[in-house]
Every structure is written in C-alpha cells, then in structure tokens.
C-alpha cells in the first residue's frame, strides 16, 4: 500500500508545463487545439479537444422500464442504442437544465424532478467534455422536439436486458454503460435496504412476542 501511495505521489509531481495552445479547428460542437508541452525537460505536441459540456438522462417508466434512444452515429457509421443526451446550449448553462430539455426533445417525455446520478468525463486522454447524468421518474407524455437533422426512435427496455447487452459487448456507449451500471447498483442497494428493514421488523416482532411470553 505504501509503495502504491509513493508511486502515485511521484506521478503527480512530474512537471508538466504548457508552453503554447494553438487553435487548429473550430466546429459546431468542439474546438481542436495543438498544445506544446514540456514534460521532464522534453517538449511534445499534444492534441486537445475542448467541449462545452453535456447532460444525459436515464428515464424510468412507471413499470420500471428504461427509455432508450436509437439513432445514427456518424463516427461509428451505424445506429446505436443510448440514453437521451445533448450538449449545453452555452458554456454557462446548468447541466440539469440541459437534461430537462434533452429528455423532452429526444423522448417526448418530461418530468418535474430530476435526481442526480453521476458525473462522467467521457474521453480524458484528449478531451475535456464533462457530462452529468440524471435519473428521471414520474414521466409525463408530451412529444418530441427533434432538430431537422435528427432521427431518433424511442424504445423501452428492461434493465436486465440492457445489462445482458453490456456484458455481451453489444452496448458500448460510455455514458450509457456508466448510467445503466450505476442505476443497477442503486437498485440493488435499495433492495438490500428493504430486506434489512423487513429483517429488522421481524426481529422486533420476535422480541415483542418473547416479552409477552415472559410477562
């Protein structure tokens, strides 16, 4: 354990100095830079992509199913199954406001309260995108508000089936995998808590019965 701590401290003390950051490309959702850095006295060129940030939602229906969106992803050249998500409209937009908007735009459902689930940095090697994921319950049906270049199908899935697809390597989107596994763990904790509560009640009843017998 001490060796691990020492190694971590050594890594954190490695001097990394950014000498220059040069904008190479500016697109619709990101900016690409070339960084000149100095590490241990050696200069290197590092790619850096800036993203304003995003939010995602894991919507759970009244019967416990999870609403997923199926859409074409140009980078993979195929359709993917994901949780609803989208980028911030501006760098200073609150991620929870983005989440409320994306939920309704992509699924055609809204809710009055979002529960924070987790935060994810999607591609830490070269991109600073930070994404907050929220849990949505008590969904109310409205209608989708898709952009002209969006085509999204909404599908309701059982949690168990999504977990099977993750472990089979069929569901690979990072934010979606993270959200589903976090939600599954949350459900397990809730079930265990309920089981402990039942055991506690049974114990109290047994104590009460014993006290009546001893009286």
Bridge partners, residue 54, by sequence: 87, 131
pTM for the full predicted model: 0.82
Architecture of domain 54-189: Alpha-Beta Complex (3.90)
Choose among 83, 62, 54, 58: nearest CA to 136: 58
**C-alpha–C-alpha distance, residues 128 and 126, integer Å:** 7
- Delimit the domains of the chain by residue range: 2-50, 54-189
- pLDDT per residue, tens digit, the chain (215 aa), is 556 555 555 556 668 899 999 999 999 999 999 999 999 889 999 999 999 999 999 999 999 999 999 999 999 999 999 999 999 999 999 999 999 999 999 999 999 999 999 999 999 999 999 999 999 999 999 999 998 888 999 999 999 999 999 999 999 999 999 999 999 999 988 676 655 555 555 556 566 666 666 66
CA R_g for the chain: 23
């Amino acid at each position: 354990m001490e060796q691990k701590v020492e190694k971590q401290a050594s890594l954190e003390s490695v001097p990394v100095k950014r000498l220059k950051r040069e904008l190479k490309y500016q697109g619709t959702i990101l900016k690409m830079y070339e960084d000149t850095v100095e590490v241990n006295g050696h200069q290197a060129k590092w790619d850096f992509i800036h993203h304003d940030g995003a939010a995602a939602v894991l919507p759970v229906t009244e019967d416990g199913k999870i609403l997923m969106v199926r859409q074409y992803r140009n980078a993979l050249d195929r359709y993917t199954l994901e949780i609803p998500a989208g980028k911030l409209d501006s760098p200073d937009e609150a991620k929870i406001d983005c989440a409320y908007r994306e939920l309704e735009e992509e699924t055609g459902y809204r809710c009055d309260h979002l529960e924070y689930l987790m935060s994810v940095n999607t591609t830490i090697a070269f991109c600073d995108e930070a994404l907050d994921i929220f849990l949505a319950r008590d969904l109310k049906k409205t209608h989708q508000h898709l952009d002209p270049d969006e085509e999204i199908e909404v599908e309701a899935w059982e949690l168990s089936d999504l977990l099977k697809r993750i472990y089979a390597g069929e569901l690979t989107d990072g934010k979606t995998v993270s959200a589903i596994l976090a939600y599954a763990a949350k459900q397990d904790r809730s079930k265990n808590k309920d089981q402990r509560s039942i055991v506690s009640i049974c114990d109290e009843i047994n104590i009460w019965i014993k006290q009546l017998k001893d009286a």
